[in-house]
Amino acid sequence: MNNQATIRNEKEIVIYHVGGAGEYGPVMTVIQHMAPHVRLVVFEARNDTDDFEVSRTYTENGIPTTVIFKGVDGGVGNAKFYVTKYPLSSSLLPSSPLAAIENCEYWWCHTWAQNTELDHVIMVDTVTIDDIMDMGAVPPPDIISIDAQGAELRILQGAVKALTKALCVVSEVEFHEIYDGQGLFDDQMKLLTEKGYRLFNIAHQQKWHPGPAVGEGFLTVGEACFMRYAADLPYIPGKRGYVPIETMTDVQLMRLAAIALSFKAYGYAYSLGIALRQRNPELFAEYSSTPKYEFIAQLVNILDGGKEQYLRNPRYWIDEVRVFFS
């Protein structure tokens, strides 16, 4: 079913964020760069977090924000939610014995077992991202952001339809099991590349130590950013990590360019802007005069104006863009 909440301006970038308890991680850069063309939908399994207050603040500052107090999972029903004494580590999954002795360099504890010491277990109602999207209470997502303490893969598996519409996924990833039975980075990577996403960056990397926190630790946790990779290629059977650019709508190209620009993927934003200008010059001109989106057109014009210099000096564009965005 549809209602008024699904009506959106085509320039609006819709972000679904799961977990985080009031902290929205790398997508903050999109919120900051593209407001007021942002709508935020936040999912939280518990109602004792800061999300409601944060959402009111965002709404008052021109970013419509909806908080849905549901546990997001790979299926509909109810599930155990393990509330830890350090609440930010609470999860749909219990802590893994594989990481119990790991020193994660947190100032408040020595080991992961101490950090995830169980306080109590509650039951939470669960929904999938696809179910939320199908209900029509909020528009489909352009960005799916997940900080769900080990349940990220399960959540993505419940977002199969949403992933075909979305343009970017930002997800916490683990390279070693820290929650019991969780999916790891390679599992998320496989799922997302099969949907046409390409890994852009892994931010906020954490290196943990299976012993004293001395010297270099093992790469254990990070926040991975995947963007839909629209390539000027036909469909090639067996290839993954891209979608033919012809399968993207004009509006998707511009929203994706805005997301890429927010993450400083300037070369990719330029390629998307050029593709839109060639395909639909009228829409490109309209966006060129729209606050925030105008930076895409300015980027295209800067790089276009320096093609000859670029051929003589491969670093020419790098220096020009640095000056423009400094």
Tens-place pLDDT, residues 110-146: 999 999 999 999 998 899 999 999 988 889 999 999 9
| Burial class (CB within 10 angstroms; exposed 0-12, middle 13-18, buried 19+) of 181 | exposed
Q: In this structure, is the dihedral angle defined by the CA atoms of residues 197, 198, 203 and 209, taken in order, positive or negative?
A: positive
Q: Which two tokens stand for residue 111?
A: 């080991």
What pLDDT does residue 70 have?
85
Task: For each of the domains in the chain, give its residue range(s) and CATH number, in order of start.
Answer: 4-228 (3.40.50), 266-325 (no CATH)
| Alpha-carbon span 80 to 121, nearest angstrom | 6
- What is each CA distance from 115 to 19, 99, 101, in whole angstroms? 18, 11, 11
Question: Beta-strand (E) ranges in 65-135?
Answer: 65-68, 71-72, 77-84, 118-127
Averaged pLDDT for residues 262-274: 94
Nearest to 225 by CA among 303, 169, 156, 277: 169
Question: CA neighbours within 13 Å on the CB side: how many for 303?
Answer: 21
Strands 218-228 and 168-174 turn out to be antiparallel
What pLDDT does residue 88 have?
87
Q: Does the pLDDT at position 17 exceed 70?
A: yes
Nearest to 138 by CA among 276, 307, 7: 7
| Alpha-carbon span 265 to 257, nearest angstrom | 9
Q: Residue 132 in 3-state DSSP?
A: helix
The strand pairing partners of 14, in sequence order, are 39
H helices of the chain, in order, are: 28-34, 51-60, 112-115, 129-135, 152-157, 160-165, 185-194, 250-262, 266-279, 281-288, 294-305, 307-312, 316-325
Averaged pLDDT for residues 151-165: 96
Mean pLDDT is lowest, of 42-56, 169-183, 241-255, for 42-56
| Alpha-carbon span 170 to 201, nearest angstrom | 10
What pLDDT does residue 45 have?
77
Q: What is the pLDDT of residues 196-247, one digit of tens each?
A: 999 999 999 999 999 999 999 999 999 999 999 999 999 999 999 999 999 9
Q: Does the pLDDT at position 21 exceed 70?
A: no
